[in-house]
Structure 1
Amino acid sequence: MSSSIKFSLILFCACSLFIQETLAGEVICENLPENLCSFAIASSGVRCVLENYKNEDGNLGYTCKSSEVVVERFAGHIETDECVSACGVDRGFVGISSDAFLAPEFTSSLCSQACYQNCPNIVDLYFDLAAGEGVFLPTLCERQKSSPHRAMLELLSSSGGSGDAAPAPVSD
């Protein structure tokens, strides 16, 4: 093989790697548009959060910021529209709260097979939020399927958690 062919092959491989890296890009919360911010995770592993502010004209504006919550196993992930829809979440929410669990429709969507089995990033986020309220998400989902009203009552009384700990589901 001639040296010019070897050089061309090496140059082609190097350019291919550069193009792949450029196309894949690094996810930086502050560079994301507001319609992709919520449920995204920066390449550094921190969750992105949508925040509001008042601009110079006094109007409400939105910006994407890095939170202090680190989730390395999903680093560089921007949630799909399919998961946002299946899980019943809204990219327009400012901040994320466990108050969403109080809406039976939300819990039903989050616990649905379409969300719970296919959207590990969103499930992981709400798993952690539920745990912060003393609720074990898999138990809440089991109870929600058999008796939605009872599940909500248990959640409201914070007795829905079993005290057990287990990792949230993660897809391959």
Structure 2
Amino acid sequence: MALILFLAFSLFLQGALGDIVCEQLPTELCSFSIASNGRRCILENYVSLTAGKMEYECKTSQVAVDIMHEWIESDDCISACGVDRQSVGISSDALLQPHFAAKLCSPACYHHCPNIVDLYFNLALGEGVSLSDLCKVQRSNPKRVMREVRSSGAAFGPMGAAPMGSLSGEYYEIGYAPAEAPMYY
């Protein structure tokens, strides 16, 4: 009998507390939130056919987070990291903005906002750059970061002949790598 009561109470408590489901979040809390299933929530926009204006909705992305679940980012971290709750989608483009890189690499963000740092850490890796190395350069020479990150057809990434596995823990130079030419058919 005690087991049945425990199971019933557990189900009731889970339903009362609720899980975070991206599609059920208000749009003003969507960006930089993580659902109970570990997937990032993203804000998407569309033109409403009935109203004829831009509308926003919160969706579950395919981007999974290993280190945290059920996370709604705090206003303090949104401000400290220089991100915007109304940002649509997930993009590494913000890394090209000098003021954003400075805020992201600031101690207030980098050491106290693991969700945002994890997101941009992975976005930077996708571009071939280590966020920790980018922040080291940002602290020592902010103008150099923007010179090296700004791209006009070249992708930024690690330079040198060191294999990827040997780069962990070591400083390496951030530089340009030639992008492949587009293919036309």
Distance in 2 between residues matched to 1:154 and 1:160, nearest whole Å:
9
Asked if 1:66 is matched to 2:78, the reply is: no
Cα displacement (A) at 1:97: 1.3
Asked if 1:85 is matched to 2:79, the reply is: yes
Higher helix share: 1
In structure 2, the residue matched to 1:108 is 102
SS of the residue aligned with 2:19? coil
Asked if 1:39 is matched to 2:32, the reply is: yes
Cα displacement (A) at 1:20: 5.3
Asked if 1:26 is matched to 2:19, the reply is: yes
Distance in 1 between residues matched to 2:157 and 2:89, nearest whole Å:
24
* Consecutive unaligned residues in structure 1, runs of 5 or more: 1-6, 167-172
Moved over 4 A (4+): 17-20, 157-160
Equivalent residues of 1:151, 1:160 under 8 A apart: no
Equivalent residues of 1:135, 1:155 under 8 A apart: no
In structure 2, the residue matched to 1:155 is 149
Deviations 1:88-137 (A, max 9, x none): 00010111211101111100110011110111110010011111111110
The TM-score with structure 2 as length reference comes to 0.76
* Consecutive unaligned residues in structure 2, runs of 5 or more: 170-185
Question: Which of the pair has the greater relative contact order for Cα pairs under 8 Å at 6+ separation?
Answer: 1
Percent identity at matched positions? 53
For 1:123, which of 114, 117, 124 is the aligned residue? 117
1:121 to 1:149, Cα distance in 2 relative to 1, 3 A: same
| Number of residue pairs aligned between Structure 1 and Structure 2 | 158
Equivalent residues of 2:27, 2:57 under 8 A apart: yes
Distance in 1 between residues matched to 2:146 and 2:139, nearest whole Å:
11
The TM-score with structure 1 as length reference comes to 0.81
SS of the residue aligned with 1:74? coil
